[in-house]
Amino acid sequence: MAASAISKSLKSSRGNTSLLGLVCSSSSSQQNNNNSIGFKLANCLKPFKAEIFGGRLTSVAASAQSRIQFHSSSLLKPEASIRHRAKAISSSSSAQGPPSGSVQELHVYEINELDRGSPAYLRLSQKPVNHLGDLVPFSNKLYTGNLQKRIGITAGICILIQQFPEKKGDRYEAIYSFYFGDYGHIAVQGPYLTFEDEESYLAITGGSGIFNGVRGQVMLKQLVFPFKIFYTFYLEGIPSLPEDLLGEPVAPTPDVEPSPAAKNKEPHACVPNYTQ
């Protein structure tokens, strides 16, 4: 009946037998593929919808489009849907961060406990003393500023830029990362001065995990070379830091030591899956 009604409308409006044949041909295959016919009618008759069908053809096209969208969305794989939800949750939690432009401080101790073969001094300059071009790969343990938790490691390299015999120290260009287990990592670059009690500032170049999108700088305070360094991070552009990484920092002195529980890696004294 639908095909007959369409045919009559076409004859009375246009008298175009070739167009009528096209429509009837499309309608006759309706039993084979309803979705396909709905789509073809909407597209083939679109130029004539104002004169022949008015609003009815628009409704047919909208209905066909709705069916197509429904079927395509139902083809999404489960894992893709899960990733989409996880991304939405992450975006929602990020929106609950500190006000724009605020700076969060993070205090961290880096301690070389001489159990990682670090540092390794590579004299590429082939000079008997420290010289431009020498490389120093390193990796040391990280503890929270209050020294109560093991949080991960540092990993990177220092390039010797200049030696200062009168100060008994060197200037390095340092490129390295701070790894905080499941929380992610922070990458930094800048000057590292080995003079006793010397401070320097390095740029934060990026991060991952909760530190994704981080910007700012970190102050490096040398305590005992090459065994103890105290860091104060000034972080911007990220959500509020977890309590695991916070706490009142212990005043930086050469005598500081991590708590026995943190040193022994007891579960309550480590962050989740801390980097080893």
Residue 67 domain flag? no
Residue 147 domain flag? yes
Domain carrying residue 177:
103-264
Does pLDDT of 100 surpass 90? no
Non-local (6+) Cβ contacts of 44 within 8 A are: 22, 23, 26
Q: What percent of the chain has pLDDT over 70?
A: 63
Q: What pTM was estimated for this model as a whole?
A: 0.65
Residue 37 domain flag? no
CATH number of the domain where residue 111 is located: 2.40.480.10
Residue 174 near residue 190, CB atoms below 8 Å: yes
Per-residue pLDDT tens for 156-172? 999 999 999 998 899 99
Q: What's the rounded mean pLDDT across residues 90-108?
A: 68
Total number of domains in the chain: 1
The better pLDDT of the pair 264, 78 is held by 264
Residue-by-residue DSSP string for 141-189: EEEETTS--EEEEEEEEEEEEEEEGGGTEEEEEEEEEEE-GGG-EEEEE
Per-residue pLDDT tens for 192-240? 998 877 799 999 999 999 999 999 999 999 999 889 999 999 999 999 9
Residue 246 domain flag? yes
Residue 218 near residue 232, CB atoms below 8 Å: yes
Residue 107 domain flag? yes
